[in-house]
Amino acid sequence: MADRRLSVSLRQQAPIPLDLDFTCDPGDVLAIFGPSGSGKSTILRSIAGLYRPEHATIRANGETWSDTASKAFAPPHRRAVGMVFQEYALFPHLTALGNVMTALGHRPSGERRPRAEELLRLVHLSDHQDRRPQQLSGGERQRVALARALAREPAVLLLDEPFAAVDRTVRRRLQDEINELRRTLDIPLVLVTHDFDDVVRLATRLLILERGKAIASGALTDLTSRPDLPWLREAVGLGSVFDARVVRRHSQRGLLELTFDGGALFAADRALDAGATVRVRIAARDVILATSEPPGLSLHNALAATVSAVAEADGDRVVVQLVVGSLLLLAEVTRDAIARLGITVGARVYALIKSVSIEL
Amino acid sequence: MDWTALRVSLWLGAGTIAILLPFGIWFGRLLAVHQFRGKVLIEALVTVPLVLPPTVLGFYLLVMFGARSPLGQAFQSLVGQTLPFSFEGLLLASAIANIPFVVQPIQRGFEAIPSDVRDAAACCGLTPWQRFARIEVPLAWPGILTAAILTFAHTLGEFGVVLMVGGNLPGETRTLSVAIYDRMQAFDDRSAGVMAATLLAIAVVTLMLTTTLSRRVGLRRG
């Protein structure tokens, strides 16, 4: 396990400042999230060997790929790395099949074509295998790029803003497909993005990057339930992200019943099978606090909670962290509300959440 | 019609391409891909033959090829004849005069390849040589083709440099464009007219070929 882990340590002052260390285990999806120009792509390019920072130690697959201290450096074509580029970077003179076959040089020549066809089937592109990139839509190009990255049988998969060039609906579908693939891959996967939606949908771990430095990193659920990350609050708004299981659909009532460690939730109905695992995000702004369970409301979710932390945000805002079973939720309320309700650490409250504001 | 002159012209064109294309691909790619100090100066030097009067270029080439220069001496001791006023000398002069016609289109061809595509090829496990042969050359192909055709057409039409370095020796250095001048001097308008028309026809066919080929490349690329 430990030797298949990706471990990265990068330092340099200029031209792009970098100062961070991180690891990613097989099966994990590490999202590196930050504004444009924070050095995200440079990190991925360093892992792939396309960029050489002043000081770098990169280990993966039980090998040392970069170690500036001992002057060890494996060129990109000797690193088992699969990379999906932001604009996909497909080879324009080759068909979809040709693109994928290019990355199969490590296989005997007779196996390359059947393997490439298999990979295109995996990304639902069998019908388009003879098309050139110019004849494919954005989403289809992205799938070819993914199949090509997987063709290499990578020890590490790198995704550089993989959904930046496709529209919302295609993005959702591609995210689901990558999620599915991830379960079968069992390799470290590093995703770079400036869109928090990608993080919520795909990541298991999160690293927040600012000017080449990690300002916070950890498991996604832990990090998103921390009340004291003003940077994240300003960038995307606070909100806990966690996994829940579908219990059943109540189609007639327009509701979806979910269960998580220590409670049940009702979300707006969606076509999901019982037993399926779903990623849930509850925005801190959508959580209302009450000292007793109020009657006569249209709400479906009133969760009994204990206040575990109270953090001042800017202005009149306060972020309250709540324990619900084994889950941590955040609620963003006014300073006035805190004073009126007498909310302090240890207080028992109810967290009120509308079913429609639960993001799946 | 001076068939010998036509043969010399065609050989000179083909020979210039054969010598210059490998150099142009190597050097054009170097200029396209790498950033280094003095690049602007080198790019200017490469372009100089384009703006220099052919007689000036011919003069310097003659000096360079002469019996007193190291190059001229080396050639004479190896082959036993002088470099100026020989087909070999003419070929070398033609290659030098055509450097800008080869390097510039090829450089543009390689520059047009997005750096991400080059990086993706490396991430696919292709070695530098495989990347060059399987990704870069096929993508820079229109530029390489343009370079070859421009060189051929320009060599056929070159006059000043040929006359300065090669002179007017039948079967050796008398090209079609020199032969036209030669016939005009002898008031043989008919022969000159036939040969001029031949050169015109070759030029038109060459350009048609370029357009057709580049359109086909365009189709292939979608």
Q: Is B112 on the interface with A (CB under 8 A)?
A: no
Domain end call among A228, A247, A281? A228
pLDDT in tens, A71-126: 989 999 999 999 999 889 999 999 999 999 999 989 999 999 999 999 999 888 88
> Residue A206: is its pLDDT beyond 80?
yes
Higher pLDDT, A22 or B85: A22
Span A4-22, pLDDT tens digits: 899 999 999 888 899 999 9
- Say if CB A324 and CB A305 are below 8 A apart: yes
Which positions in chain A have a beta carbon within 8 angstroms of at least one beta carbon in chain B? 45, 48-50, 75-77, 81-83, 85-87, 89-93, 102-103, 105-106, 132-135, 148-149, 151-152
pLDDT for the residue A30: 95
With a pLDDT cut of 70, the percent of chain B lying above it is 96
pLDDT of residue A132: 93
Q: Are residues A18 and A158 in the same domain?
A: yes
pLDDT of B216 higher than 80: no
Q: In the structure encoding, which two tokens stand for residue A302, read together?
A: 């009133």
Sorting pLDDT into bands at 50, 70 and 90, what band is B222? Answer: very low
**pLDDT number for residue A6:** 93
Phi, then psi, of A297 in degrees rounded to 5: -115, 155
* CATH number of the domain encompassing residue A286: 2.40.50.100
Query: Please, what is the average pLDDT of chain B?
Result: 88
What CATH number does residue B58 fall under? Answer: 1.10.3720.10
Question: Which of B162, B155, B152 is CA-nearest to residue B61?
Answer: B162
* CB of A58 closer than 8 Å to CB of A64: yes
Claim to verify: residue A263 and residue A179 sit in the same structural domain:
no
Q: What is the pLDDT, as a whole number, of residue A94?
A: 94
pLDDT of residue B22: 95
Chain A hits for B33, Cβ within 8 Å: none
Select from A242, A261, A259 the least CA-distant residue to A326.
A261
pLDDT at position A95 is 93
Taking all residues of chain A, what is their mean pLDDT, rounded to a whole number? 89
Q: Is B33 on the interface with A (CB under 8 A)?
A: no
A-B contacts (CB, under 8 Å): 76
Q: Smallest Cβ distance to B127: which of A77, A91, A132?
A: A77
Whether A182 shows a pLDDT value over 90: the answer reads no
Is B53 within 8 Å of chain A by CB?
no
C-alpha distances (whole Å) from B111 to each of A60, A90, A168, A189, B116 are: 33, 17, 33, 32, 12
List the single residue in A86, A92, A103 with the smallest CB-CB distance to B124: A103
Q: A228, A253, A281 — which closes off a domain?
A: A228
Tell me which H or E stretch contains B64: helix B54-65
Select from A91, A147, A139, A92 the least CA-distant residue to A118: A147
Q: Give the residue from A228, A251, A274 where a domain finishes.
A: A228
Instruction: Please indicate, yes or no, whether residues A73 and A206 belong to a single structural domain of this protein.
Output: yes
**pLDDT tens digits for range A208-265:** 998 888 989 999 999 999 988 888 888 888 999 999 999 999 888 888 999 988 788 8
Is residue A182 one of the residues assigned to a domain?
yes
Which residues neighbour B56 within 8 Å (Cβ) at sequence distance 6 or greater?
Answer: none
Decide: helix, strand or coil at residue B37: coil
In the predicted model, is pLDDT for residue A165 greater than 80?
Answer: no
Residue A145: closest C-alpha in chain B? B120
Please give the pLDDT value at position B217. Answer: 60
Interface test with B, best of A93, A101, A109, A161 (most B CBs within 10 A): A93
Binary contact (B122, A148; C-beta < 8 A): no
Report which of A219, A355, A199, A200 is spatially closest to residue A287, judged by C-alpha positions.
Answer: A355
Domain, as residue range, for B55:
3-220
Assigned domain for A234 exists: no
Which residues of chain B have a CB within 8 Å of the CB of A90? 117, 120
In this prediction the ipTM stands at: 0.83
* Nearest residue, CB atoms, B116 vs list A75, A85, A135: A85
- Chain B CB contacts of A151 below 8 Å: 124
A332-358: average pLDDT: 88
Runs of H (alpha helix) within B66-188: 70-79, 87-97, 99-111, 115-123, 128-131, 137-157, 160-161, 176-185
Inform me whether the C-beta atom of residue B164 falls under 8 Å from chain A C-beta atoms: no
Please tell me what DSSP assigns to residue B36.
Answer: -
Contact B122 A86 (CB under 8 A): no
Is B76 an interface residue toward A (CB < 8 Å)?
Answer: no
Query: Stretch B80-91: mean pLDDT, rounded?
Result: 85
A50 pLDDT above the threshold of 60: yes
User: Closest chain A residue to B141 measured between Cα atoms?
Assistant: A93
Whether B213 shows a pLDDT value over 80: the answer reads: no
Q: What is the pLDDT of residue A2?
A: 55
Over residues A249-302, the pLDDT tens digits come to 988 888 899 998 878 889 988 888 888 888 899 999 999 998 888 887 778 888
Higher pLDDT, B80 or B110: B110
On whether both A267 and A217 belong to a single domain, the answer is: no
Report the C-alpha gap between A4 and A340 in whole angstroms: 53
Distance from CA of A277 to the nearest CA of B (A): 33
CB B222 within 8 A of CB B215: no
Residues A139 and A188 in one domain: yes
- B129 vs A: CB within 8 A: no
Range in A32-36, A168-172, A277-281 with the lowest mean pLDDT: A168-172
What confidence category does residue B218 fall into, taking pLDDT thresholds of 50, 70 and 90?
A: low
Residue A233 forms part of a structural domain: no
Residue A177 belongs to a domain:
yes
Residue A330, token pair as written in the block: 């955040």
In this prediction the pTM is 0.84
Which residue of chain B comes nearest to A156, CA vs CA?
Answer: B123
The reply to whether B119 touches chain A by the CB within 8 Å rule is: yes
Residue-level pLDDT at B168:
82
> Cβ contact (<8 Å) for A135 and B135?
no
Q: What would the mean pLDDT of B106-121 be, rounded to a whole number? A: 93
Q: Is there a contact between B119 and A87 if contact means CB atoms under 8 Å apart?
A: no
Q: How far apart are CA A182 and CA A13, in angstroms?
A: 35
* Shortest Cα distance, chain B CAs vs residue A175, angstroms: 22
Q: How many domains does chain B have?
A: 1
Q: How far are the Cα atoms of A15, A215, A244, A318, B21 from residue A241, in angstroms, in the given order?
A: 35, 19, 10, 19, 60
**What pLDDT digit, counting tens, does each position of B22-79 carry?**
999 999 999 998 888 888 999 999 888 888 888 898 898 888 888 788 888 888 888 8
CATH number, position A137: 3.40.50.300
Check whether residue A275 and residue A204 sit in a common domain: no
Q: Is residue A314 part of a domain?
A: yes
How many structural domains comprise chain A? Answer: 2
Q: Give the integer Cα–Cα distance in Å for B100 and B44.
A: 10
Chain B: nearest CA to A87, how far in angstroms? Answer: 8
Please report how the helices B115-123 and A40-48 are oriented relative to each other, as an axis angle in degrees rounded to 10.
40
Q: Is B34 an interface residue toward A (CB < 8 Å)?
A: no
Domain of A280? 239-359
Same domain, A218 and A272: no
- For residue B222, which residues of chain A lie inside 8 Å, CB to CB? 92, 132-135
Distance between A335 CA and the closest CA of chain B, angstroms: 50
What would the pLDDT profile of A133-154 be if each residue is shown by its tens digit?
999 988 899 999 999 999 999 9
pLDDT of residue A93: 92
